[in-house]
Every structure is written in structure tokens, then in C-alpha cells.
Amino acid sequence: MPQFTDTINRRRTFAIISHPDAGKTTLTEKLLLYGGAVHTAGSVKARKSDRHATSDWMAMEQERGISISTSVMRFEWNGCEMNLLDTPGHNDFSEDTYRTLAAADSAIMLIDAVKGVEPQTIKLFEVCRMRGIPIVTFINKMDREGRDPLELLSEIEDVLGIPTTPATWPVGQGKAFCGVYDRWHKRLLKFERADGGSNKVPIIEASIDDPALKAEIGQRLYENLVEGIELLDGAGSDFDRDAYLRGQMSPVFFGSALTNFGVEPFLDAFVDLAPAPREHITVDGDVVMPDDDVFSGFVFKIQANMDPRHRDRIAFFRICSGRFERGMQATLQRTGAKLTLSKSLTFMAQERVNLDEAFAGDIVGLWDSGQLHIGDTLCSSKSIVYEGIPRFSPENFVRVVLRDPLKRKQLKKGLDELSEEGAVQVFYDLQRMERDPILGAVGKLQFDVVQNRLQTEYNVNVTFDGLPYQHARWIEGNLDPADISRRSGTLCLHDIEDRLIVLFQSEWMMHRIIDDYRDKNVKFIAAVQPGRKAL
């Protein structure tokens, strides 16, 4: 057995998924606070001041108080290396989250105690279910007057179709929220407020049978607590670790990320619940174990200009097996090129530290000259190729209007790089004329980001003309684009890899044309692998 197996088993690589405004960035900050990665937690609510959330490094994120781009952060807890992938909560950036979940071994699902299960949570949960990712649930904002905890558990089970088992149970709610009962260790954890949530909170441990507890929290709170625990003990589901690891059960924790109540016991439990790096399957169906001697992994994200002063381009690389060493050689499987991995980084949002060594489960930032694409496999053996990360068909479209024609070269460079990052999809007419490119995105807010980044990073000023198309499908098969172009409500284009794609003004028109070609050996595809034909 390789000598670094124990080191790999101490890795925990996880993502946080939620609907916008559920408190995901705040929870991320508090995990970093408790993990010692930051000394004082920033708050997205204070974005008008000089203090911003550590995980939000992009200027627009700090201005708007939302997460736009996936951030990677690393901290230690109870002897484990925690690789936290903070994903965008806004559904306009869901494609970035889908890509990031390919690099995660487990996920924290954040639920707003006031609003319950929301649409974006449902979408991201389904992605986790398809990938078999174990999910731990944290019900947040218990410091607000929200819905009944039993009602929230019932909604999670009914809407998401996954059994739950509460690991902790809240003591009070809203202003009365003062602690949690740890069902697994049969103890009550009472919290004391500390400096507005910017610092760790003291915890007082007590027994639920302590006579002083009733007097301290009040008769009504005590009776509600005892009644809730008895109900769960009698009718609730017992925790099944194997079912959890298969993604078929979710342990539930209650707390408030804003006040830090419940964060520390949650983190203590999560480090034990979250699995160590798991095996990965190649395109040939082979199983690659994390402690395999062969170094391998895949690129799940590319980000240009994280440091505008250096005009850099960083590939976020998930190690699937083996050991990484700075300066080692690896094969880029898509092209067969040998790369020397001499510039490697680890992240604390905008802060970067040179990295000399990493292991399966770790996320490494590789300096990239433009050779790497999202989904690329790198390995020290020629026999490993991992499945690429699909690109989904966009639903919103604009035509680019360049304000200064002399900046056309900079525009092309900017759009090429932003497309390679996955920030936007770029299309051209059938003659490959690049004067008026068309952009496609899953969410409209992506266009604001592209416009802002073209201005700040490439010094290109553009405006966008909205287009009336709502759906897109790539074409696989022998089809004359002119046949579809004659139909009203459609537009045929080429994507940046010269694949044919058709835009439709309505879902009705899309289905009508698909039906017309059903018997002509032509397929209309909703997702493609970059660098390959339509899926």
C-alpha cells in the first residue's frame, strides 16, 4: 500500500449548495473562522464598508454581495485538510456550480429556516443525486422567526425525496434560539453571544436532565425541547452511514451562521461524516483508487486575471489519484503533450500560496499558458482519461456591439478566454464572421459579468443587443443549415469549436423542428463535451 494512504484519508473535499440568500457565503466565512484560516469573519451585509467576505474576490462580488465565481479555500480541522469549494448561489451562475460538483466528494446543503426548500436548492440537489454525492444538511437562520423544525424536515423529505435524521435539535427559535441538543452524544450545547458573530462563541455543555436548565431557558422552551426529542426518538429515522454515503439519507443540523450558534458542533460532526477522497471512473470504465501510485486528475474550472496585475490564467485541478510534486511532468491526454507542472498554487480566495506537494482530494491551481481546457485529464500515465465536464445549452442570447472598432482584437482575445473559462458561450454566423459575435448564457446576470470583465480586464467597452431566442440545441448528423434557417423563429450558428447549433424563439418551435427531423438521423443535443462532438 502506498505510503501516503493515511495522508489522503485525511482529505475532505466538499462544496456548499444553496438557494441565493440562504447564507452560504456567511457559513463559508464561519467555517474559515473556526478552521483558523481567518481571524475575524467578514460579512456580506457590510459590503459598503472595507470588509468583504473572504471567499468573494471579484470586484462585482464585493459590490453586489453575491458569489459569482467558484472559490477554493483550504483549512484544517481536527487533523484533516478541508478543501472547501464555495460555489455561486445565484441560479444565473448554476453552470459553474455544476462543474464544481464534479470535483467534490460530498456537499453541505444549506436550507433557510424561514423559506425552506427553494428552487435552486432542488436543482443542485438533483445534480448531487445524479453524481451520488453524500449530502449533510444545515438548516440556517434559526436566529430568525421561521418555520417549525418538524415542518422543515418534512418538506425536505417530501420535495427532495431523501430521508432525514436530525443530528442536532434547536433549543428555541428566533430571539429565543440559544443552543442545540446533540442527539448523537446526548448533550445540550448552549451558546453565548460574542461580538456580533465575528468571533467564535463560547459553548456551555449541559445535561438535558439538569434541573438548572429548566430555570435557565424557561418552562416553555424546556417542554418544547423535551417533546421534540421524544418525538424524534420514537418516530424519527436512525442514522445509517452507508445510506448517507450512497446519497440516500441526509443528517440534519440546526444553527445560525450569522451568530455562529451551532457552527462548531456542526463542523466537528461534518469532518467525521464527510468521506475521504473516493475512487473515480475513467471513460473506459476502469476504477482509479485515490491511493494509486499514478498521479491523475482533471481540470474543472479555469479563471483568468484573478490577479489583474499579472494577467494570469489559473486552471483549478482536482487530484484524483497519487501525489503531486511541483516540477513533475504530466501528460495532457487530449493532445498528448507533456507538461511540466512548475507553477502550482493553493488558495485562500484572492490570496495564493505556492504549493510544493499535494495529494488525491486536493485542489491545485496550475498556472496555464492557454493549453488547458475545462474537463482535461492530466496524468503521469497514458492509460487514464476521465469523462469531460459537459457544457449545457444556454437560454439567453445577446449580440455584442463593440463601441470602438479598433479594439476588435482585444475583444476576440477576451471572449476566447472567457469562453474557455465557461463564463459565457460564444457563437458566430455560418460564415465564421467574427465582427458581431453572439453570446449565450444560462442566466442573464452572466452578461453583466462579461461586460464588466471585458472593460476592467481587457479595456474593451461593449454593449449588448438582446435577441429573442430562448432555447438552443447542438446538431449531430448530416443536416443542411439552410433547411432550418428558412424556418421562422430560428437561427443557425457555429460555436467556438465549429459545431453547428440552432437557436429557437420558443419551446414550441424547437419541438416542432425536432419532430420534423426525428426520422432523418439527426439529433438535437442539449449538452456537449468541450473538445468533442455533441453528446
Q: Are 463 and 401 in contact (CB under 8 A)?
A: yes
Residue whose C-alpha cell reads 418555520 in the numeric block: 147
Model pLDDT, residue 97: 76
Q: Are 302 and 351 in contact (CB under 8 A)?
A: no
d(CA 168, CA 266): 9
Q: Indicate the SS3 state at residue 328.
A: strand
Beta strands per DSSP E along 192-295: 203-206, 250-254, 280-281, 287-288
Q: Are 191 and 202 in contact (CB under 8 A)?
A: yes
d(CA 100, CA 317): 11
121: CB partners within 8 A, 6+ apart: 17, 18, 19, 22, 109, 110, 111
Q: How far is CA 304 from the centre of its chain?
A: 18
179-182 sheet: strands from edge to edge: 168-171, 179-182, 187-191, 203-206
Task: Give me 257's grid cell.
Answer: 451562521
Model pLDDT, residue 401: 94
Task: Give me 501's grid cell.
Answer: 447549433
Q: Please name each of the domains of the chain with its CATH number.
A: 13-68+88-273 (3.40.50.300), 280-379 (2.40.30.10), 391-528 (3.30.70.3280)
Q: Are 348 and 365 in contact (CB under 8 A)?
A: no
pTM above 0.75, yes or no: yes
8: CB partners within 8 A, 6+ apart: 276, 277, 290, 291, 359, 360, 361
Q: Indicate the SS3 state at residue 180.
A: strand
Query: What is the DSSP code (8-state) at residue 20?
Result: T
Residue 224: HSE in the Cβ half-sphere, 13 Å Cα cutoff: 16
| Residue ranges, the chain, pLDDT below 50 | 1, 43-58, 60-62, 64-70, 90, 92-93, 533-535
- Which among 120, 249, 263, 92 is positioned nearest to 179, based on CA atoms? 263
Model pLDDT, residue 69: 44
The overall longest dimension of the chain from CA atoms, in Å, is: 82
User: In whole angstroms, how far apart are CA 255 and each of 34, 258, 262, 325?
Assistant: 15, 9, 4, 40
Cβ neighbours of 117 (radius 10 Å) = 19
Task: Give me 335's grid cell.
Answer: 493532445
| Alpha helix (H) residue ranges in 35-188 | 59-64, 94-101, 119-131, 149-160
Model pLDDT, residue 43: 42
Query: What is the DSSP code (8-state) at residue 175?
Result: G
Amino acid at residue number 147: R
Length of the chain: 535
| Alpha helix (H) residue ranges in 161-262 | 211-217, 219-235, 241-245
Q: Are 442 and 449 in contact (CB under 8 A)?
A: no
Task: Give me 157's grid cell.
Answer: 423529505
User: In whole angstroms, how far apart are CA 200 and each of 69, 259, 262, 271?
Assistant: 27, 9, 11, 18
d(CA 523, CA 535): 9
Task: Give me 260's grid cell.
Answer: 455562529
Amino acid at residue number 377: T
Q: Are 88 and 55 in contact (CB under 8 A)?
A: no
Kindly tell me the burial class for residue 52, based on how many C-beta atoms sit within 10 Å of its own C-beta (0-12, 13-18, 19 or more).
buried
